[in-house]
């Protein structure tokens, strides 16, 4: 047991190092993509620029990977020193683990991006309500030895809210979404007894994909690959008996916000560009007769909010003073629209606000969240009859809620 704190400490350090490495990977890709777009129109010169920028991108990734290897080596050196320090009473337990006398500890899942949460008390073929009304989905941290990892689902029955709670995900049941992989964090919503999942692919074009589940996430089917691309995670929402999908276009396309809708998650139409340029992906939620979209500005990172009465044209743009460098989160609970985000600061604390009309916002104390350093990371919001739910990654995944 004495070794466990040392291993946990080193493991957290390695996760942070891997997260920084992955962030450099993706930022390098986006930087090269953006610079290639800004090259002069002369095609031979543009080809030379393309080669140069991707060479720089390759060496940047190689440097990040080398630093990560040094970091991992250093952390395991710490583990060895801890082992030597406590070997007088830890060796018997160590041999017990080697000989399989002791069950290995379950590691907490991690993600470099915000998770997605959706509530839906769906009915099965016999008309009975499900025992798993809440689904949480995320893009797990990539393992360089195992190759790209896929979207993985966690289920938990959260139907009784007696007090604020905090849960770590190893208590959840693990499910995977086939062999799908994601470039950023996914999005979830529930509509007409079906869970819908959207994500950005890791293919060369980074196209958007949508799948659906009629059994609470046990199986996923009807995969649709859209003619839309993004380097950020998309957003899903339900409004006027339709499903809405919003995303940020690539830098070479201007980093603008687009939105489209569907009645069944298969045929998508009414693609519209929203007046706004984003740094990260958007968030969607409806309140009464209005659909709201939130995003962080391309240049100033400030949170922006707009509303729509028909799902096509957006108006009444509100720019808050708060800033974030990650996707914000939106959801409706009761008569309020809730907004969560990670502060653009060194600590990266999660903040929460609410509004009754999308114009006037008030700060909500995040007493449902634990103290620092757990109260940091990329948040996601959802609601159910029992209360408000918030999930986040820092990079270990957590979920909490309150009445």
Average pLDDT over residues 257-264: 96
Copy the structure tokens of residue 366: 């995040």
Q: How far is CA 360 from CA 12, 112, 116, 301, 336, in A?
A: 39, 32, 26, 20, 11
The count of C-alpha atoms lying within 13 angstroms of the C-alpha of 395, restricted to the half-sphere facing its C-beta, is 24
DSSP H/E element including 387: strand 387-393
Distance between CA 170 and CA 150 in Å, rounded?
Answer: 17
Distance between CA 39 and CA 316 in Å, rounded?
Answer: 36
User: 3-state DSSP call for residue 285?
Assistant: strand
pLDDT in tens, 370-390: 777 778 889 999 988 878 888
Copy the structure tokens of residue 36: 């290639």
Least confident interval from 1-15, 37-51, 99-113: 1-15
Least confident interval from 144-153, 191-200, 391-400: 144-153
Place of tokens 């952390």: 75
Long-range contacts of 355-362 (CB under 8 A, 24+ apart): 358/287, 358/290, 358/292, 358/305, 358/307, 358/316, 358/318, 359/316, 359/318, 361/320
Q: How far is CA 63 from CA 22, 54, 144, in A?
A: 12, 14, 15
Least confident interval from 52-61, 196-205, 301-310, 356-365: 52-61
Q: How far is CA 257 from CA 260, 360, 396, in A?
A: 11, 23, 29
**180 DSSP 8-state letter:** E
pLDDT in tens, 88-124: 434 444 444 444 444 444 466 788 899 999 988 877 7
Copy the structure tokens of residue 182: 């994601």
159/327: higher pLDDT: 327
- Residue 333 pLDDT exceeds 80: yes
What mean pLDDT, rounded, does the chain reach? 78
162/146: higher pLDDT: 146
């Amino acid at each position: 047991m004495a070794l466990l704190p040392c291993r946990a400490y080193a493991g957290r350090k390695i996760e942070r190092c891997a997260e920084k490495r992955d962030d450099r990977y993706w930022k390098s890709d986006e930087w090269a993509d953006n610079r290639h777009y800004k090259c002069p129109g002369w095609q031979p010169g543009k080809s030379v620029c393309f080669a140069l920028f991707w060479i720089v991108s390759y060496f940047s990734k190689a440097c990040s990977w080398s630093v990560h290897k040094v970091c991992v080596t250093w952390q395991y050196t710490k583990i060895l020193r801890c082992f030597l320090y406590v070997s007088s009473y830890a060796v018997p337990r160590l041999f017990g683990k080697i000989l399989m006398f002791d069950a290995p500890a379950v590691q907490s899942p991690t993600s470099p991006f915000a998770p997605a949460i959706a509530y839906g008390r769906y009915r099965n073929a016999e008309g009975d309500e499900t025992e798993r009304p809440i689904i949480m989905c995320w893009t797990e941290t990539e393992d360089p030895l195992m190759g790209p990892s896929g979207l993985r689902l966690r289920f938990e029955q959260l139907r009784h809210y007696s007090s604020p709670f905090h849960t770590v995900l190893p208590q959840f049941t693990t499910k995977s979404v086939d062999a799908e992989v994601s470039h950023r964090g996914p999005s979830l919503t529930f509509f007409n007894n079906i869970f819908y999942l959207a994500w950005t692919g890791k293919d060369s074009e980074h196209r958007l994909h949508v799948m659906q589940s009629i059994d609470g996430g046990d199986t996923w089917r009807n995969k649709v690959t859209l003619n839309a691309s993004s380097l950020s995670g998309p957003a899903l929402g339900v409004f006027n008996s339709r499903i809405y999908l919003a995303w940020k276009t690539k830098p070479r396309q201007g980093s603008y916000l687009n939105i489209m809708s569907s009645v069944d998650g298969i045929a998508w139409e009414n693609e519209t560009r929203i007046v706004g340029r984003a740094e990260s992906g958007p968030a969607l939620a409806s309140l009464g007769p209005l659909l709201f979209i939130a995003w962080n500005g391309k240049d100033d990172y400030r949170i922006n909010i707009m509303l729509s009465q028909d799902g096509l044209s957006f108006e009444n743009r509100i720019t808050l003073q708060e800033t974030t460098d990650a996707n914000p989160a939106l959801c409706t609970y009761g008569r309020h629209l809730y907004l969560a985000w990670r502060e653009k600061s060194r600590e990266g604390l999660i903040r929460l606000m609410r509004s009754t009309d999308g114009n006037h916002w008030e700060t909500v104390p995040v007493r449902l969240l634990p103290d620092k350093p757990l109260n940091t990371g990329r948040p996601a919001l959802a609601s159910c009859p029992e209360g408000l739910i918030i999930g986040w990654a820092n990079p270990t995944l957590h979920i909490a809620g309150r009445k």
